[in-house]
Homo-oligomer: A and B are copies of this chain.
Amino acid sequence: MHALTQFSQGEITALWAVLGTAVLGLLYAVFLMAQVLREDQGTDEMQRISRSIGLGANAYLFKQFKTILFLILLLTAALYFTAGVKYIAIGRACAFLMGSIFSATVGFVGMNLAVRGNVRVAAAANRKSFSQALKIAYRTGTITGMLTDGLGLFGGTVIFMIYGEKAYEVLLGFGFGGTLLALFMRVGGGIFTKAADVGADLVGKIEKNIPEDDPRNAATIADNVGDNVGDCAGMAADIFESYEVTIVSAMILGWASYGHKGVIFPLLVRAIGVIASIIGTYAVRTKEEVRDAMKAINIGFILSAAVSIVGFALVGFYYLRFPESQEPLPLCFTLGIPGLDLRPVWTTLVGIILAVTINRLTEYFTDTGKPPVKSVSESCQTGHATAIITGFAVGLESTVWAILVIAISIMVSAFIYQGAGPTFIAYGVSMAGIGMLTLTGNNISMDVFGPVADNANGIGEMAHLPKEARQILADLDAVGNTTKAITKGIAIASAVIAAISLFNAYITNISTITKLTYEQVAATLSVSNHSVFVGLLIGGAIPFLFSSLTIKAVGRAAFLIVKEVREQLKDKEIWEGKKLPDYARVVSICTAAAQKELIRPGLLAILAPLLVGLLLKKEALGGFLAGMILSGQLLAVFMANAGGAWDNAKKLIEDGVFGGKGSDAHKASVTGDTVGDPLKDTAGPALNPLIKVMNMVSLLAIPLVVRYENSPTVSWMAAAVAIALVLVVIHKPKPSKEELEIIQKA
């Protein structure tokens, strides 16, 4: 750790303390792991089902890792060659690998624990213990949460301790690794999960009128696998990425504004968050006679929030002293103590408030008790079309309030740093991002709780558990749906804040490379500049294109599943329940389809910013990033909330309102839910990593863009690649031999 000589003794202690906390978080994860694995696994039947899910999920992940391994190695080499100085180059390449591996680990371990947790939750319910079932399900989620916290913090801190003042360029590699893997996990997992889900529903619920998770449906195992690879592995990698990217950008901007303390403070904030999450998540429990899972989870959250706010205030008070500072600050930032600067603490608090507000907003637009969902279920009475239109309008409206809240947070952060120059303002915004993700441990616990409860419920159905156990599992599943929906809002908002921070880092970076001041670079990025405006237009269109690709991919894959399940159901023995269907075949079709569909969105995400930079220059790339963040945010919130509203409108009707199950209103609500599924679980969530990946690629590509943007040869080459990319993107992939066989058979 040769950079440690740059630090004072106090700083070294602080860094070691942060590192220690990161390790503590990881140890806590291991401790919970042992605790969960010790639990009873239920009947043989249950274990067999759980094993099928586990095998399918791992088969998917291994295939996925294999698919992208080559790309990862290629990019590792590319990153090695892009950096100038050798020891930076090695660091960046290694950090990229580390980021990818950490992200993969979070996804892999989280998913495997979820698979193991499911059956144990079902077994606990079978023993008629609600409190045990809740505890296992929630702690299974916490394992992923603490892995995210621990690995994210560990990576950033270690790189900073090794590279010190040069850490910036290496951190970029770390961020990019996590981001890229998250993109693939999100897109691939999202396509897999929804293709299986929609395929299973179209044949099972709609054509054959058999219940969800009926063992005769060949797609049920794939559906459950999908929950794990999409909602556990994908979501975990996504939040890991935001967690990582916000710390990377806060460190970059902290360095440019406050120097050492600007970098170490966000690390300390994160360390406090880890401790707060450990305390809060461990407190989640309910008494057998109360059975209120939501309340227990909320109490844990509030506890964590309280611990962290007190922690920030204390650390800020003792650490943020700048005796040499001459700036006269208002009393609320100095408390009258000369040299104290509490502005970073305040902006962190802005982030926490932002997180809570976004949670409330998401809840408002997707909760069954609130007007928007009610209006959607009401409109189901007049048919499929009105159900869709109302959900569409609800989704559109929800984007407005989400964006207003984000805009206000940015303004307040900027207001706190009023008069303090653009890098300080940018740092303030990035600290809001840090604050927002402080309670990542709790958020991921809540999120993973969703698919774990969902799968436990599925296992309960397939293993024909007694009624009382089924009720426990159904109740947990309902709570899981809510917690899952709520964390989606945070994932999107954090992606936007992270992207904005990266965007600010983009400008800082250009000014370093071109040796112009921040202000001079900023001036070239005026929206009145036609290049910037053209970039803005193109960037704004990318999330639309990307969503169109992923939605169509789900459609194509689901089509294959439908054909396959229909074919298998033609077998009389399967239909009569005398023979089990070939679950593995559906899983492998899903896996292959998802992998194939990954390529085009992946290429688009990596190449588009590079090509815009090389063809239209760095100004257009700046506009491109801004436009992409804007339309990505709008579209992601729209899809998440419209999807959530349709989903819960269906639940409301299934609870007996407007005619209940089987009524025409219910059919219309199923249409709404099916439309919403690929939006809220594939296309929407995939936009989070997309906007971060594109920002990361741009950050890494700036030296290249600056060097080659005026070279005609490179422009021609870039134009050729751009045309090739357009052709690849509009090309409808031909079905493989195996797929053709499926299509023809049916």
Contacts and interface: CB of A to CB of B under 8 A. Distances in A.
A706 interface: no
A90 B121 CA distance: 78
Given A500-B533, A545-B400, A631-B630, A382 B540 contact: no
Interface string A380-392: 0011111011101
Nearest to A527: B626
Interface in A39-54: none
| Residue in A379, A411, A542, A623 whose Cβ sees the most chain B Cβ within 10 Å | A411
Nearest to A521: B528
B678 A389 contact: yes
Contact of A671 (B385, B422, B622, B679): B385
A562 B631 contact: no
A291 B102 CA distance: 69
Contact of A544 (B385, B622, B638): B638
Given A392-B675, A393-B552, A675-B388, A522 B530 contact: no
A626 B548 contact: no
A483 interface: no
Given A382-B202, A397-B545, A555-B389, A530 B630 contact: no
Contact of A525 (B394, B500, B528): B528
Contact of A403 (B382, B538, B548, B634): B538
B631 A634 contact: yes
Nearest to A506: B528
Interface string A498-537: 0010011001000000000000011111111111111011
Given A526-B522, A623-B527, A630 B389 contact: no
Nearest to A540: B630
A315 B386 CA distance: 54
B548 A396 contact: yes
A410 interface: yes
A393 B555 contact: yes
A15 to B, nearest CB: 30
Contacts of A551: 389, 392-393, 396
A531 B399 CA distance: 20
A206 interface: yes
Contacts of A383: 202, 206, 671, 674
Contacts of A386: 202, 555, 674
B407 A537 contact: yes
A724 interface: no
Contacts of A526: 522-527
Count the copies: 2
A674 B385 contact: yes
A384 B671 contact: yes
B541 A403 contact: yes
A627 interface: yes
Nearest to A552: B393
Interface in A465-512: 500, 503-504, 507
A576 B397 CA distance: 44
B562 A382 contact: yes
B626 A533 contact: yes
Contacts of A623: 527
Contacts of A94: none
B533 A410 contact: yes
A1 interface: no
A180 interface: no
Interface string A623-638: 1001100110110001
A534 B410 contact: yes
A538 B384 contact: no
A171 interface: no
Given A385-B674, A388-B671, A400-B545, A527 B527 contact: yes
Interface in A395-436: 396-397, 399-400, 403-404, 406-407, 410-411, 414, 422, 425-426, 429
A547 interface: yes
A544 B675 contact: no
Contacts of A630: 536-537, 540, 627, 630-631
A212 to B, nearest CB: 16
A675 B414 contact: no
Given A396-B548, A522-B526, A540-B634, A534 B411 contact: yes
Nearest to A519: B523
Nearest to A667: B384
Contacts of A503: 527-528
A544 B636 CA distance: 13
Contacts of A396: 544-545, 547-548, 551
A522 B533 contact: no
Nearest to A633: B537
Contacts of A555: 379, 386, 389-390, 393
A65 to B, nearest CB: 28
Contact of A548 (B397, B541, B679): B397
A30 to B, nearest CB: 42
Nearest to A389: B675
Contacts of A407: 534, 537-538
A630 B548 CA distance: 18
Contacts of A634: 540-541, 544, 631
Interface string A610-648: 000000100000110011001101100010000000000
| Residue in A385, A390, A400, A522 whose Cβ sees the most chain B Cβ within 10 Å | A385
Contacts of A206: 383
Nearest to A202: B382
A530 B411 contact: yes
Contacts of A562: 382
A131 to B, nearest CB: 38
A493 B182 CA distance: 36
A529 B522 contact: yes
A410 B535 CA distance: 11
A678 B388 CA distance: 12
Contacts of A678: 389
A537 B411 contact: no
A447 to B, nearest CB: 25
Contacts of A536: 527, 626, 630
A670 B521 CA distance: 53
A414 B619 CA distance: 15
Given A393-B548, A534-B410, A541 B400 contact: yes
A268 to B, nearest CB: 25
Question: Which 8 residue pairs spanning A and B have beta carbons closest together?
Answer: A385-B674, A523-B523, A396-B548, A397-B548, A522-B526, A522-B528, A527-B626, A400-B545
7 contacts: A382-B559, A389-B674, A396-B551, A397-B545, A407-B538, A414-B531, A544-B638
